[in-house]
Amino acid sequence: MNLELNGDDMKISRVVTLVIMTGAMLLLGGCSLSSTPFQLLQAPAQSQQQSNIRQEVLQHLPPHSKLVIPDNGPYGATAIFIKDMMGDGQRQVIAFYANEADEFEHGYIVLGENNGEWEELDQVNVPSRGVDFFQLADLNGDGRNEIITGWKGGIRGRNELQIHSLNEQKKLELDGDMLYTKMLVTDLDGDNWPELFNLSWDSEKMVAEAALYEYRDGQLSKQTALDLDGAINGYAQVVTGRVSEQRQGIVIVADIGAHSSYTSMLIKEQGQLKDVLNADPLDPEFYNAQTTLSEDVNGDGILEIDRMKEPPGTEDLPYAEMPFIHEWLQWSEGGKLQPVMNSFYNFESSYRFDLPERWTSQVTLRYSGDNKESITFKPLLNHGVTLLEIKVVSMADKTRETEKWKQDGLQFVSLREGKDKWIVGIFPESLEQYAAAVKSLAISEKELARGFKDMKF
């Protein structure tokens, strides 16, 4: 068709041009079209308050400094703490830093809020190798928290403890300092007046001392002390918590030898520190063949200690093949150690299995497989019955193994399925044909699932 441009065409082409121009302008108006997708990524939005505080903190850090996290303390892995130090409802910010240009310079700054603005109150600079410890506690009972900080020293594992408080002018005052190896804020006499527990170990002289300090009237003073065995490799654990219904205590796990350890449990009795597990703290006898840590394993709020023991019926096994039972003990006021639970640990696959209570002294354990992939639980009375097998199966073998168990008439419960490992509990369909004593040991799927725990570090 022969298209002549008349008036109408002109009008239309003008409209088309207008539309295209508008579209192009809209498109290009975005202006970020030239950015690559990656350049458009942003950090997720922080809360306004946090970002203000962070801004302020970073501004007031000494040059070449960066934020660091104290190694120990009751709080999370945090570098900036927002806490009410004065107990007056006003919050302060405490932020720890390290000077990247000088490895011996560490410290912290304190910010206060003034009319909604955060401003620096004071700064503490400690020549040290790092921040070991941080806790706020009202040590002297004046209603204000003291800042208790530990600073890593050099040789012999000696660290420096400092206690600071904010004075009326909102400036930091050094109230006391001392050297320590491990530091805890605790309340062993239960008077709601916290003490400082100072564990000092001289690795050179092979001496160790546990001491309780109190901070009164601006003075740090030693209340009591107990000499401990100093011929150790170090401390695997120093922890405070309730050790019985009424009492706070301290559990210390000291490494000795290649990978064995001994455990001490300190309480304060008649104003004196006392190791309730070892009659003579300088010659402790509460040994474990492997280093085992204490924890509140049954969740009753009381720390249990771990004692490794050989299961019954394994007297003939060499050490390397010994499937140790971890017996969790609770201390009681009379000095008796009460077993509360038996567990089997697989550190390789990081799981724990808590044995049913009725299995105590009734069941023996045996590893099987080239790399101890399996642990089997059998009645002492009848080694021909397998009550339970917990097996680590590689994912590649999953189908084959499953088929096999089905053929053998076994039940199985998936306990944990990982990227290339599958942990599974296998147990017989029924034990009806066996004697009542064996039958009563049968484990249910529920018990198995309840007993299986992922290890947490």
Residues that bind another protein (CB under 8 A): 1-2, 8-9, 12, 15-16, 19-20, 22-24, 26-27, 29-30, 32-33, 35-38, 40-47, 50-51, 53-54, 57, 67-69, 71, 75-82, 95, 347-350, 417-419, 454-457
Interacting residues of 249 by C-beta distance below 8 A, sequence separation 6+: 188, 240, 241, 242, 243, 265, 266, 267, 276, 303, 331
CB of 81 to another protein, least distance (A): 6
Least distance to another protein from the beta carbon of 39, Å?
A: 8
- Determine the straight-line distance between the first and last CA of the chain, rounded to whole angstroms: 82
Nearest-approach distance from CB 73 to another protein, in angstroms: 10
Distance CA 250, CA 265 (A): 6
Q: To the nearest whole angstrom, how small is the minimum distance from the Cβ of residue 435 to another protein?
A: 39
The nearer residue to another protein, 348 or 408, going by C-beta atoms, is: 348
Would the CA dihedral through 194, 195, 201, 202 be positive or negative? positive
- 354 contacts 363 by C-beta, under 8 angstroms: no
**DSSP H/E element including 176:** strand 172-180
Please state the closest distance from residue 278 (CB atom) to another protein, in A: 26
Minimum separation from the CB atom of position 48 to another protein (A)? 11
User: d(Cα 382, Cα 437) in Å, to the nearest integer?
Assistant: 10
Q: How far is the CB of 213 from another protein (least distance, A)?
A: 26
Q: Decide: residue 144, CB within 10 A, 0-12 exposed, 13-18 middle, 19+ buried.
A: middle
Residues 6+ apart with CB under 8 A from 450: 354
User: 79 or 273, CB closer to another protein?
Assistant: 79
Cβ distance to another protein smaller for residue 15 or 435: 15
User: Which of 54, 274 has the CB closer to another protein?
Assistant: 54
Nearer to another protein, 18 or 437 (CB): 18
Toward another protein, which CB reaches closer, 333 or 454? 454
Question: Quick one: 85 or 212, whose CB is closer to another protein?
Answer: 85
CB of 69 to another protein, least distance (A): 5
Closer to another protein by Cβ: residue 82 or 322: 82
CA atoms of 436 and 456, how far apart (whole Å): 37
d(CA 223, CA 140): 14
CB of 151 vs another protein, minimal distance in Å: 15
C-alpha distances (whole Å) from 422 to each of 45, 152, 414, 435, 454 are: 39, 42, 7, 33, 13
Phi-psi region at 240: left, alpha or beta (left = phi > 0; alpha = psi -120 to 50): beta
- Determine contact, residues 323/344, Cβ cutoff 8 Å: yes
Q: Among 266, 278, 259, which Cα is nearest to 303's?
A: 266
Nearest to 411 by CA among 425, 398, 401, 421: 425
Cβ nearer to another protein, comparing 12 with 435:
12
